[in-house]
A and B are shown apart, each in its own frame.
Chain A
């Protein structure tokens, strides 16, 4: 297979990269575009550390090919902060101590941000919050501080700045 040109939008910016068609989205993001905020923690689509949002949907970027995202909008953890202003979820994570080693945090933030966006203002149950991050493993926190952060954002305690 020949290398090919891929055009996609990452965090609002247009990119054009020349990649092998079997390149995974996570490899394109990390190795070709240099967005190393997105992590990899397994080889079996199990851990969620590589979660990004593609056209608003949270996706494990090790589970799809980069070329499948031709023309799409990809958001990574680096896109959550805008001009030095942290997103509501980022601020909630800080206030609740919802991270420790930080390796799962980018994926956790992307899953929870997509979850809040999909809710469109609806208040979720605790069970729904927990299910929204079921695909993301955190070995440090025991999740409860993350659940508190997501709940605080869902309850409208953090506004966009």
Chain B
């Protein structure tokens, strides 16, 4: 079915915001200036854990040019969190009243006529703290004697998650070989090129408008309304262009909250933009995880059981971390069939910056452990890593017991393609190795911890008299190209051209609610809503076409490339523009409006559909220095039917660069709760010279639940790379990398240990 003769889908169209972006016309919250606008700055805690005894703002208020200073006492003191359904997980006051729990936590905010004055005024705020003992690592924080970070939370355990199916102990009994390992997965910063920022404008009508970069305008509307005591409908979020998200821009942040609080106090617009250092120390990060993994396997390579325990460094607050705790445990089983599977995850509070979702949502950590251990087991037992993965891999029609149903799966073809690619490379020189990793990922989450009463996605389409189309959606384009993807689906469904579609998104006053850009949900969920809305409008148009053309009712009519025609006799028809004009008259002048929505039902616990992939990393390591050179990253990828060709390639190449960064470059070292490299000199990001070629083979599958057979693309490919690089290092040098990132120091240390062990023998 994926061989359909598409007009727009899977053709190399330009992104609809391309010209705005290459001409510098695209404006971000960072660029917004409103009349009378003031500038805000945030005072942050220098302590990882301290009681706030008193905050004296009087000197700051007297400073010329300062218009307002706010602290927790100027807020409603509501504890918020994105898991709105669960009160105990709403644990963060963005301007706390009683204590601070990490270095960089906001304690006060100033609005002044210039940013410079606001910054100077911060020095005049006098905060009296009583410093408390602090704890930074989950394995320490979970101890009985550790300091309590949130009152009433025993052993600092924030959330736990248990996943289990099959008889795990019985399945382990059947195993011929059992291997257990501990792993330590690091954090990673989203490092969006656009730091967090917001311009809030509260006006005497009682309405608040906030311009901000966001992954979900609807979430930010709901979260802000909640903490400010406003009705959702009185908060308008306008997302101009958003300079990257990667999982870091859908929780409420201090730029949004503090600018709103200041604006409500002053009835003037207030702009707050984080510096890069603020963004590093006081936004959020990928969740660091400690994993214990025990896997049982039969001699012939059949997987029996897996049992894992995971302790994550949750940092000071919950946020999206609770979702990552669940997803890492689920994807740790992927993409294999286990007779018995058991996962126990503990998210532990510490006095460090909060952890959250980041591209891959817990899966890159899970795969780093799982996929390396599988290769080590294969080496221990003399099994072929490709064969073992093929033997145990998910297949179409498989049900992950009680969790998920796999309707489409191209895993086996992915494995075959990568196996061929690796074999074609032949024997490699010394100190060079190829490592593989397979994985899968979700196409949006089924869970509704936000407690949205709205459909997960909605779309409204209006056809103007000249045939141009207004498409209103709530999905959020953060650079991944979702507006273009929605325009493609609309143009294809309606049978018009790309230039006929105008996409309206990122404005809660004018667009339907949508959960936004996370968990790779928009192509499938918003895509389905758009398709449904277009089918609705098209049906209305074709009703007029039947009447106008006076044809036999058994004939099928369709529209393609603006031509309304009989399917069996495509030459017989009329122009789409003519039809629209006539249809409008028939509706007493009303424009044609189509509505669509999507909420997943009867699709298990996690996601309506799953992508699959396998990746191979070809890397060379200098055994003297430990320096890694990545020569090539090859991917075979099943995302169902590709929709946006250029966008898909961009997503996969981008995922490879971010995942390579996670694998061997990016690190967030802390000392006594203080991040030691909060700038782009010391925080290493992949740059153009070290970025390898990243060829891709797309596997042709069709996902019945997705629009035109489409499913996840782009986020999931962040998952396999760290594991594949680890396996490449293992194949090149015979050392096991159990800690991320795989730095030269760690390689040298592992080589030294290997030598010492060999000497002992």
Contact = CB atoms under 8 A, between A and B. Distances in A.
Given A86-B22, A94-B18, A141 B195 contact: no
Interface stretch (A2-10, A66-74, A142-150, A153-161): A142-150
B453 interface: no
B657 A142 contact: yes
Contacts of A131: 688-689
Interface in B222-260: 241-246
- Residue of A99, A103, A136, A142 with highest tally of chain B CB at under 10 A: A142
A42 interface: yes
A17 B654 CA distance: 40
A30 to B, nearest CB: 8
B584 interface: no
B2 interface: no
Nearest to A40: B30
Contacts of A90: 22-23
A144 B23 contact: no
B275 A139 contact: no
A103 B688 contact: no
A21 interface: no
A101 B28 CA distance: 10
A27 B686 CA distance: 28
Interface stretch (B399-407, B556-564, B677-685): B677-685
Contacts of A141: 650, 653-654, 657
B244 A139 contact: yes
B656 A101 contact: no
A13 interface: no
A83 to B, nearest CB: 12
B23 A46 contact: no
Contacts of A104: 193
Given A43-B275, A80-B23, A140 B244 contact: yes
A35 B244 CA distance: 21
Interface string B191-205: 111110000000000
B45 interface: no
A63 interface: no
Given A46-B681, A95-B14, A109-B22, A39 B694 contact: no
A137 interface: yes
B650 A100 contact: yes
A14 interface: no
A77 interface: yes
Interface residues of A, number: 53
A152 B600 CA distance: 44
A47 B194 CA distance: 11
Interface in A1-59: 30, 35-44, 46-47, 49
Contact of B689 (A99, A100, A134, A145): A134
A116 interface: no
Contacts of A42: 276, 679-680
B679 A46 contact: yes
B479 interface: yes
B722 to A, nearest CB: 15
A61 interface: no
A137 B193 contact: yes
Interface string A70-112: 0000001110110000100010011111011111111001000
A94 B19 contact: yes
A143 B681 CA distance: 19
B650 A97 contact: yes
Given A130-B688, A142-B694, A39 B479 contact: no
Nearest to B693: A144
Given A46-B680, A134-B687, A142-B656, A101 B24 contact: no
Contacts of B605: none
- Residue of B21, B244, B275, B650 with highest tally of chain A CB at under 10 A: B21
B646 interface: yes
Nearest to A46: B680
Interface in B652-666: 653-658
Contacts of A97: 14-15, 646-647, 649-650
- Residue of A42, A47, A100, A134 with highest tally of chain B CB at under 10 A: A100
Nearest to A34: B33
B276 A101 contact: no
Nearest to A91: B22
- Residue of B12, B276, B655, B687 with highest tally of chain A CB at under 10 A: B687
Given A139-B244, A140-B654, A101 B193 contact: yes
B53 interface: no
A25 to B, nearest CB: 16
Given A37-B23, A43-B277, A100-B654, A145 B649 contact: yes
A148 to B, nearest CB: 10
A91 B681 CA distance: 32
Contacts of B276: 41-44, 47
B478 interface: yes
Contact of B22 (A93, A127, A129, A145): A93
A43 B679 contact: yes
Contact of B688 (A37, A38, A134): A134
A140 B479 contact: yes
B26 interface: yes
B685 A137 contact: yes
Contacts of A99: 15, 18, 21-22, 479
Interface string B1-45: 000000000001011011111111111101100000000000000
A39 to B, nearest CB: 7
B301 interface: no
Contact of B691 (A40, A94, A144): A144
B23 A78 contact: yes
A36 B654 CA distance: 26
Interface string A118-142: 0000000001011101101111111
Contacts of A43: 275-277, 679
Given A41-B276, A101-B193, 10 more contacts: A47-B276, A97-B647, A99-B21, A101-B192, A101-B244, A139-B244, A140-B650, A143-B686, A144-B694, A145-B650
Interface of B: 12, 14-15, 17-28, 30-31, 191-195, 241-246, 275-277, 478-481, 646-647, 649-650, 653-658, 679-681, 685-689, 691, 693-694
Give the 6 A-B CB pairs with smallest separation, nearest first: A37-B24, A101-B479, A142-B657, A103-B243, A102-B21, A97-B646
25 contacts: A36-B24, A41-B195, A41-B680, A42-B679, A44-B680, A76-B24, A86-B23, A90-B23, A93-B18, A94-B15, A95-B12, A97-B649, A99-B15, A99-B22, A101-B242, A103-B192, A105-B22, A130-B689, A139-B191, A140-B480, A142-B657, A142-B694, A144-B653, A145-B650, A147-B688
